[in-house]
Amino acid sequence: MKNATFIFCSFSLICTLILGCNPKQNNSASAGTATVAPSGGSGKLAYVNIDTLEAKYELLKTKREEFKKRQGEMENELQLSYSEMQNDANEVQKKAQANTLTQSEYEAAQKRLMQMQKSLETRKQSLTDQLMKEQDDFNKDLKTRLDAFIENYNKDKHYDFIFTYTSSGSSLLYVNKALDITKDVVDGMNASSKSDDNKKNK
């Protein structure tokens, strides 16, 4: 039996989100704050570099380490159970080869080992499902946090379009660095997380 493989669904999995964007409107980037002429808007553009946000957002970094630690603990638990089952199986095999087991004892041992294996598989699935659910819940919370921050941030900035950008797999082929608001988002979300922690600790 192999160890369970737990997958952390990182924030980069939602990097294709288009935040605050009307997909029916066209846009084009130029130096400085880009302008187009959509109806009812100035056409101001900005983007968030998801690679940077993922690397510098402290809450995400902390959660990733927590999930990594949990994964290690779960894998250690499963490996210990597997080793115990394997040792039991080896003992049964030795006794069987030495003809020190009756047929009924051998059948009972086989039944016990099969039950142990079944229980181990069930535990493995349960741990995997539990961790994946927690990761999924965190990703949803992460998206909610980002959406809320961007909405609040844009009350003063008045961007019509805020895109996400990543060096791997982005739909944006070129970005003007003058339009990068990533630092504002990283600093703001880190400050917001600290504020939430302080409120919880009071």
Residue ranges per structural domain of the chain: 11-201
User: What pLDDT does residue 18 have?
Assistant: 32
Q: Check: pTM over 0.75? Answer yes or no.
A: no
CATH architecture of 11-201: 2-Layer Sandwich (3.30)
pLDDT over 90 at 111, yes or no: yes
Contact 185, 150 (CB under 8 A): yes
Backbone angles phi, psi at 24, to 5 degrees: -85, -10
Q: What is the DSSP letter of 180?
A: B
pLDDT over 50 at 39, yes or no: no
User: What pLDDT does residue 42 have?
Assistant: 65
User: What pLDDT does residue 166 have?
Assistant: 87
Helices of type H across 40-57: 50-56
β-partners of residue 46 are 162
Helices of type H across 18-102: 50-56, 58-97
